[in-house]
């Protein structure tokens, strides 16, 4: 059977192009056209292997646009997340996604796949040699399990990005074990991990968190002071307005820049 093409996706008899088609065709123009023999006989499926790869091309679409497009596709292809997960490293695909493509796939899956049906596909990436994939996998799993014991285990991970994402996944989980983990992580040697821990503790209204954030603002390392200013803005707590103004006296330009950004956030939050 011959399948005439339109853009990069075959035109099936009687099939109306879904709303995402024009945007997908635009993105596909920078890639070779898809051959009609890539489509199996019988019932068509909307995205084949090459098209899934194109969706995960970081150079083709910004993350926000890729997620929006994936959500549109999922309306007519509800198993899109399952098909995409099969292309992750270590899965059954003969041509798995690698490097930035695999990282982008995880970012898309994190945004479009609800619940825990992909946990078994993602959990194996925690041991992947690529630290970016480990980090994204930790974030994906942590948000869906919010398991205190699991988080405690991965706080021993040497990669700070993994630890930071594990702590971020604990945000909003009000559990005695969560408070203990966040309190422990606030003194982590990584500014990212410590900052995420302080945001989580602020959300839980820990009685000491305000003092701890001000303490970080006086840290000898400018990285930690930048993070402290970021945390103040992230909380949207007006109580940090005066401390931020005081931090503007910092001699480090990166600290000053973050202070300005956070003051703008507080102003917007107050209106």
Q: Which domain holds residue 86?
A: 1-145
Q: Rounded CA gap, 218 and 115, in Å? A: 41
pLDDT reported for residue 2: 36
Q: Are residues 49 and 136 in the same domain?
A: yes
- Count of beta carbons in the 10 Å neighbourhood of residue 178: 20
Handedness of CA 208, 214, 216, 218 (dihedral sign): negative
End-of-domain residue from the set 114, 145, 176: 145
Is residue 82 in a domain?
A: yes
Alpha-carbon separation of residue 58 from 53, 107, 109 (angstroms): 10, 11, 14
Q: Rounded CA gap, 167 and 177, in Å? A: 12
Over range 161-165, report the average pLDDT.
Answer: 88
pLDDT reported for residue 24: 52
Predicted confidence (pLDDT) per residue in 72-127, tens digit: 888 888 889 998 998 898 876 668 899 999 999 999 999 999 888 888 888 888 77
Q: How many CA atoms lie within 13 A of 136 on its CB side?
A: 22
pLDDT reported for residue 41: 44
End-of-domain residue from the set 129, 145, 161: 145
Is residue 3 in a domain?
A: yes
Q: What is the CATH number of the domain that holds 219?
A: 1.25.10.10
Is residue 25 in a domain?
A: yes
Q: Are residues 12 and 135 in the same domain?
A: yes
Is residue 249 in a domain?
A: yes
Q: Are residues 3 and 109 in the same domain?
A: yes
- Which percentage of the chain shows pLDDT scores above 70? 82
Most confident of 106-115, 163-172, 230-239: 230-239
Is residue 136 in a domain?
A: yes
Is residue 183 in a domain?
A: no
Q: Are residues 24 and 121 in the same domain?
A: yes
DSSP assignment of 104-146, as one string?
HHHHHHHHH--TTTTHHHHHGGGG-S-HHHHHHHHHHHHHHH-
pLDDT reported for residue 187: 95
pLDDT reported for residue 47: 72
**Is the per-residue pLDDT at 263 higher than 50?**
yes
Which residue, among 62, 50, 40, has the nearest Cα to 7 in the 3D structure? 50
Q: Are residues 6 and 140 in the same domain?
A: yes
Q: Are residues 2 and 94 in the same domain?
A: yes
Structurally, the chain folds into a number of domains equal to 2
pLDDT reported for residue 218: 97
pLDDT reported for residue 158: 86
* Listed range (62-66, 143-147, 194-198, 261-265) with the worst mean pLDDT: 143-147
**Is the per-residue pLDDT at 44 higher than 90?**
no
Q: Are residues 112 and 232 in the same domain?
A: no
Is residue 48 in a domain?
A: yes
End-of-domain residue from the set 145, 161, 188: 145
Q: Are residues 123 and 238 in the same domain?
A: no
Q: Which residues contact 69 (CB under 8 A, 6 or more apart)?
A: 20, 23, 24, 27, 55, 61
Q: Rounded CA gap, 75 and 250, in Å? A: 50
**Is the per-residue pLDDT at 11 higher than 50?**
no
Q: Rounded CA gap, 94 and 34, in Å? A: 18
Is residue 190 in a domain?
A: no
Q: Are residues 12 and 112 in the same domain?
A: yes
pLDDT reported for residue 78: 87
Q: Are residues 140 and 221 in the same domain?
A: no
Choose between 44 and 168: higher pLDDT: 168
Q: Are residues 235 and 139 in the same domain?
A: no
Predicted confidence (pLDDT) per residue in 248-258, tens digit: 999 999 999 99
pLDDT reported for residue 265: 95
Q: Are residues 131 and 254 in the same domain?
A: no
Please name every residue paired with 10 in a beta bridge, in sequence order, or none if there are none.
5
Q: Rounded CA gap, 178 and 169, in Å? A: 11
């Amino acid at each position: 059977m011959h399948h005439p093409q339109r853009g990069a996706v075959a035109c099936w008899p009687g099939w109306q192009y879904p709303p995402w088609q024009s945007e997908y065709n635009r993105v596909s123009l920078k890639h070779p056209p898809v051959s009609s023999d890539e489509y199996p006989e019988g019932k068509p499926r909307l995205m084949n292997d090459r098209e899934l790869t194109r969706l995960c091309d970081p150079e083709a679409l910004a993350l926000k646009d890729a997620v929006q497009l994936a959500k549109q596709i999922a309306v007519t292809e509800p198993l899109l997340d399952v098909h995409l997960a099969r292309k992750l490293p270590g899965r059954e695909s003969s041509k798995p996604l690698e490097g930035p493509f695999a990282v982008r796939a995880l970012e898309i899956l994190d945004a479009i796949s609800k619940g825990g049906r992909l946990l078994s596909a993602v959990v194996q990436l925690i041991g992947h040699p690529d630290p970016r994939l480990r980090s994204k996998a930790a974030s994906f799993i942590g948000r869906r399990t919010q398991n205190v014991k699991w988080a405690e285990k991965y706080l021993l991970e040497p990669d700070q990005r993994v630890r930071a994402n594990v702590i971020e996944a604990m945000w909003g989980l009000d559990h005695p074990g969560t408070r203990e983990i966040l309190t422990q992580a606030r003194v982590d040697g990584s500014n990212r991990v410590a900052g995420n821990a302080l945001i989580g503790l602020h959300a839980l209204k820990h009685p000491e968190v305000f003092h701890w954030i001000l303490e970080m603002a006086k840290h000898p390392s400018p990285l930690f002071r930048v993070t402290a200013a970021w945390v103040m803005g992230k909380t949207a707590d007006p109580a940090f307005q005066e401390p931020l103004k005081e931090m503007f006296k910092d001699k480090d330009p990166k600290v000053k820049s973050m202070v300005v950004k956070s003051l703008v956030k507080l102003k917007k939050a107050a209106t």
